[in-house]
Amino acid sequence: MKEVLEALRDDNINMISICGMGGIGKTTMAKEVAKRAKDDELFDEVVMAVVSQNQDLRKIQGQIADLLHLKLEGETELGRANELYSRLMRSKSVLVILDDVWEALNLEDIGIPYGGQHKRCKILLTSRSEEACNQMRSQIFPIKVLSEEEAWNLFREMAGDCVDTLGLHPIAKEVAKECGALPVAIVTVARALENKTKDEWIAALEQLKKSIPKNIPGLHSKVYSSIEFSYSYLKSDEAKSCFLLCCLFPEDFDIPIEYLVRYGVGRRLFAKIDNVAEARSRVHAMVNDLKRSFLLLDSKNKECVKMHDVVRDVAISIAEEHGFLVRCDDKMEEWPEKDTYEIYVAISLFSREMKKHPNGLECSKLEHLQLSCCKDTQQMLPANMFQGMKELKVLSMRGMSFPSLPQSIQVLQNLRTLHLEYCGLEDVSAIGALGKLEMLSFLGSEIKELPREIGNLGHLKLLDLSECSTLQRIPYGLLSSLSRLEEFYMSRSRCEIGNLRATLRELTQALLN
Ligand SMILES: Nc1ncnc2c1ncn2[C@@H]1O[C@H](COP(=O)(O)OP(=O)(O)OP(=O)(O)O)[C@@H](O)[C@H]1O
Ligand SMILES: [Mg+2]
């Protein structure tokens, strides 16, 4: 830390990198550097952006601009880069932190001045890859694991004073040792054992010693064992399922807690739930427990939660054993090639380039399918897309355009949660045949009229029409025919006023009844 700060003061050094394996504390150190740089007024401005594996230049530009209170007007990446560049050139001195770099970045493409262009614009990178940082010609500072004393202090802070009691002290010391002085391992293991009895500590030590580490590139095997251990110590199967749902989203993603609620209800992951509100309270409580265990993190958005990328790597590895397939790769144009899809229970594919979906793929165990694409990429949805997915309980499609739903949607007679979000939709009347549907969301989709057939959904509990800016009307009588409806959302939607009045009257009447 001292060396990094010294390098930042050195006029001859323009770019530096903090390098080391996953979970060793690079981001934590970079944040601390940012704080110190501000406190000591080393720079006029300090900004930080997360790069992550799927380099998204627009997103990086956006993050930096937000922190500079700059509104980027440009449509193209180049236009935005020029705006950002001009703004940074006007700054007297600025520190730009780019966290979690995987491949060499072209700073010019983002709009960051470097080298001789602006002597007082310094760049700090964090990366697992020294090679990438070398390619960018930056000075490298390898980060080391904690000293024995630091490791023990952190362990004690997380596990509580109990580790100092006579009987527990030697066992706790051994458990701490199993964490290999790696911060992420220490915090997850210590928190899992907070307030546990001596017998539980002894059992935990055995379990950690026996654990068969999995080799995940870029991760120390102790990191894997520790996070897996922390997962195995979760209080309930519900909390475990809720945790695994979070790895269905891309790295560094703000996961809406509401999705965990709707997916969980659809999958019947929560026992003894009478209504959606109860499920929501349960999920919020579980999310808080998971945060306390360091398995989830706070997001800037209070409706969302994040998963640390190291935790996510381990979560995906655990989830694979439960039949999960997760791929988030913007270059993916079609579904990954597999010998069979019959083993999968949950599939999540994120790609802005996705063009083709399979026709009649046999997925007899599949309960959960999440597809996130880009509306600007022309897509083909074959008629028999869902034919082999009769067990599907949760279907989420985002950023897709289709004039009508694939004919085979009718086979989804077990479907309980359907999200068609930020989609371009025309005729969706086929939804009326999905008799078990409980949750239906058209969030942000372009849809003109809600089909009358939705009134047939006798089990529907939640209807979300938020941000449906093209919605003109809701057919009269539709809402009152949904006798089990518990929640109805239409924030930031544009409905014709006469129709809105009628809708409100209908809802009031339904409530009175
Ligand atoms: N010095 C420290 N003291 C206390 N906790 C720490 C320290 N360093 C890291 N941690 C904790 O360890 C976890 C992992 O740290 P961090 O996110 O900084 O790792 P990283 O090296 O950036 O990982 P990745 O390669 O995945 O980006 C975090 O939960 C953080 O709170
Ligand atoms: Mg990091």
pLDDT of residue 246: 97
Return d(Cα 446, Cα 426) in angstroms, integer: 8
Q: How far apart are CA 181 and CA 193, in angstroms?
A: 17
Boundary-marking domain end, from 232, 261, 295: 232
Residue that finishes a domain, picked among 306, 324, 352: 306
| CB 113 within 8 Å of CB 85 | yes
Residue 383 lies in a domain: no
Q: CA-CA distance, 274 to 99, in Å (whole number)?
A: 43
> Is there a single domain that holds both residue 128 and residue 8?
yes
Q: Is the CB of 25 under 6 A from ligand 1?
A: yes
Per-residue pLDDT of the chain (513 residues; tens, 9 = 90+): 889 999 999 989 999 999 998 889 999 999 999 999 999 999 999 999 999 888 889 999 999 999 999 999 998 999 999 999 999 999 999 999 999 999 999 999 999 998 778 888 999 999 999 999 999 999 999 998 899 999 999 999 999 988 988 789 999 999 999 998 899 999 999 999 998 899 999 999 998 888 777 777 777 888 888 999 999 989 899 999 999 999 999 998 999 999 999 999 999 999 999 999 999 999 999 999 999 999 999 999 999 999 998 999 999 999 999 999 999 998 899 999 999 999 999 999 999 999 899 999 999 999 999 999 988 877 778 999 999 999 999 999 999 988 889 999 999 999 999 999 999 998 899 999 999 999 999 999 999 889 999 999 999 999 999 999 898 888 888 888 898 999 999 888 877 777 777 888 887 877 777
Q: What is the spatial distance between Cα 349 and Cα 330, in angstroms, rounded to a whole number?
A: 10
pLDDT for residue 218: 73
Would you give the DSSP letter of residue 400? -
Which atom of ligand 1 is nearest the CA belonging to 218? 25
Residue 404 forms part of a structural domain: no
Residue 121 and residue 242 in one domain: no
Report how far ligand 1's centroid is from the alpha carbon of 219 (Å).
Answer: 13
- Say yes or no: 26 and 93 in one domain: yes
pLDDT at 504: 81
Q: Do 106 and 224 lie in a common domain?
A: no
Q: Is residue 100 domain-shared with residue 159, that is, in the same domain?
A: no
429-448 confidence digits (pLDDT tens): 999 999 999 999 999 999 98
Which of helix, strand or coil describes residue 300? coil
CATH code, 163: 1.10.8
Cβ atoms of 138 and 125 closer than 8 Å: yes
- Which secondary-structure segment (H or E) carries 401? strand 401-404
For the Cβ of 22 lying below 6 angstroms from any atom of ligand 1, the answer is yes
Which pair of tokens denotes residue 303?
């409706």
3-state secondary structure 12-65: CCCEEEEECCCCCCHHHHHHHHHHHHHHCCCCCEEEEEECCCCCCHHHHHHHHH
**Helical residues (DSSP H) of 377-451, grouped into ranges:** none
129 ligand 1 Cβ < 6 A: no
Check if the beta carbon of residue 230 is closer than 8 Å to that of residue 293. Answer: yes
CATH number of the domain within which 429 lies: 3.80.10.10
Q: Is residue 245 part of a domain?
A: yes
26 lines ligand 1 (CB under 6 A): yes
Ligand 1 atom nearest to 24, measured from its CA: 21
| Sheet arrangement for strand 15-19 | 45-50, 94-101, 121-127, 15-19, 139-142
Which pLDDT belongs to residue 53? Answer: 85
Residue 350: inside a domain: no
41 & 97 share domain: yes
Same domain (yes/no): 170, 292 = no
CATH number at 258 reads 1.10.10
Distance (angstroms) between ligand 2 centre and the Cα of 99 equals 6
Q: Give the position, in ligand 1's atom list, of the atom nearest the Cα of 29.
A: 18
Asked if 17 and 128 sit in the same domain, the reply is: yes
One domain for residues 172 and 159: yes
**Does residue 20 sit within a domain?**
yes
* Ligand nearest, relative to CA of residue 219: 1
> Which residues touch 505 (CB under 8 Å, ≥6 apart)?
none
Question: Rounded to the nearest whole angstrom, what is the distance from the C-alpha of residue 17 to the centroid of ligand 2?
Answer: 12
Please tell me the predicted confidence (pLDDT) of residue 424.
92
Kindly give the pairing relationship between strand 297-298 and strand 304-306: antiparallel
Residues 16 and 131 in one domain: yes
Same-domain status, 21 and 136: yes
| pLDDT per position as a tens digit, 21-78 | 888 999 999 999 999 999 999 999 999 999 988 888 999 999 999 999 999 999 899 9
Which of 17, 27, 32 has most ligand 1 atoms within 8 Å of its beta carbon, as the pocket-test mutant? 27
- Which residues make beta-bridge pairs with 17? 125, 140
Centre of ligand 2 to C-alpha 32, Å, is 13
- CATH number, domain at 112? 3.40.50.300
Identify the CA nearest to 352 among candidates 412, 405, 422, 282: 422
Supply 188's token pair.
């997850």
Contacts of 411 (CB under 8 A, 6+ apart): 386, 387, 389, 390
Strand 424-427 to 401-404 pairing: parallel
Which ligand has the shortest distance to the CA of 298? 1
Q: Does a structural domain hold residue 328?
A: no
Asked if the structure places residue 35 within a domain, the reply is: yes
Task: Tell the residue nearest (CA) to atom 18 of ligand 1.
Answer: 25
Q: Which residue has the tokens 């930031």?
A: 492
**Helix, strand, or coil (residue 324):** strand
Based on the structure, what is the number of domains in the chain? 4
22 and 128 both lie in a single domain: yes
Among 207, 232, 257, residue at a domain's last position: 232
pLDDT of the residue at 503 = 80
> Is the shortest distance between the CB of 421 and ligand 1 below 6 Å?
no
Distance of CA 147 to the CA centre of its chain: 32
∠ at Cα 115 (114, 121), nearest 5°?
A: 50
Q: Determine the Cα–Cα distance for residues 344 and 332; give it in Å rounded to an integer.
A: 19
Per-residue pLDDT, 209: 87
**Domain hosting residue 132, numbered range:** 2-142
Let me know if residue 186 belongs to a domain: yes
Q: Cα(418)–Cα(105) distance, rounded to whole angstroms? A: 38
